[in-house]
Amino acid sequence: MQVSPIGLGCWQFSKGKNLVGRFWPALPQETIAQVVKASVDAGITWFDTAEVYGGGESERALAQALKTVGVPPGTVTVASKWWPLARTAGSITGTIDERLRCLHPYPIDLYQIHQPFSLSPVSAQMKAMAKLAEAGKIRYVGVSNFAAKRMREAHRALALHGLHLVSNQMKYSLLDRRIEQDGVLDTARELGISIIAYSPLEQGILTGRFHEPESSPQNLSRMRRMSGNYRPASLARSRPVIEALKEVAKAHQATVAQIALAWLLQAHGDAIVAIPGASSVRQVQSNAGAMQIELTASEIAALSKVGAR
């Protein structure tokens, strides 16, 4: 499965539907189409959405936008995710047709278990995923938010059906380095599983925007503000990382966000790809620009050091 190092996370396409969708402002469909077109134009080849993002609203909005801007099915990669909370593995096969309807005419290239909360064991979930692949309803299987032990279990269970677990989607950024310490990154590299980094800009913190005196998080959604990352104490803790990013950004005539993404893509070889979200053409172009930046080994080391404090 070949994808661009940067993809587009599509949570923000939820249009304010359901509890999860209210994390972001509702975007008009016209804006969503502009964001999708800018992504394709900038060399982004894949889009990550999920059932729980607006109860299928993000999937529908993505498909509609792709059609609007004239992207033929099969020319971009589409990833979606099954929501497991209070469900058994039977729901994976039982709900796939609805996922395909929401994304029609675009196929599901990568289908992922969104969280490790299913009422069924991992083996049953992988068996259900294998059935979907055998039926041609999905192409590849991934997981999300799986700890190292559970990821290894999923990999082993899927292999019994002749398939390879291709990815584990995890929260990862310069400000969240947990997968480096808890065995997830090491296990993924051992097994040949790619890490898909979500929140690679830490919900906008790594743009440096909220560290400027004239900027305020008050215009963010209440749910987003409640995360705590925007409080003065948290911003003070992350300021050394922002200052280090600014120094590297000057050398590359880049933005703070672009350097944060470039570090993520290059610090561990090709083990990690990222899916920053975007709500505007400008944000898309900034994110995609990170693919053109080549950091030096010393820059990567310096950022890694300050980000680990």
Tell me the torsion sign for CA atoms 272, 38, 205, 208: positive
Q: Is 65 helix (H, G, I), strand (E, B) or coil?
A: helix
Whole-angstrom Cα distance, residue 271 to residue 64? 31
Q: Cβ contacts of residue 102 below 8 Å, gap of 6+?
A: 56, 59, 60, 63
User: With 0-12 CB in 10 A as exposed, 13-18 as middle and 19+ as buried, what is 26?
Assistant: middle
Residue with tokens 């996370």: 9
- Write out the two tokens for 206: 């790594």
Whole-angstrom Cα distance, residue 22 to residue 12? 9
Whole-angstrom Cα distance, residue 43 to residue 291? 9
The answer to whether 144 and 81 are in contact (CB under 8 A) is yes
- Write out the two tokens for 213: 């005196």
CA dihedral 36, 42, 48, 49 (to 10 degrees): -10
Residues with active-site annotation: 53
From residue 251, alpha-carbon distances to 247, 259, 296 in Å are 7, 10, 11
Q: Which residues pair with 140 in a beta bridge?
A: 110
